[in-house]
Amino acid sequence: CEEEGSRFQSGGVFGSRAMAGKITSEDLAVRDQNGMTRFEVLKQFGLDPDNIHEAVRDSSEIALYLEMHIEQGPVLAQKNIPVGI
pLDDT, one tens digit per residue, over 3-60 is 667 888 776 788 889 999 999 999 999 999 999 999 999 999 999 999 999 999 998 9
Rounded distance between C-alpha atoms, residue 71 and residue 84, angstroms: 8
pLDDT-derived band at 2, boundaries 50, 70, 90: low
Rounded distance between C-alpha atoms, residue 66 and residue 69, angstroms: 10
What pLDDT was estimated at residue 70? 75
Q: Which amino acid is at 81?
A: I
Look up the pTM and report it: 0.69
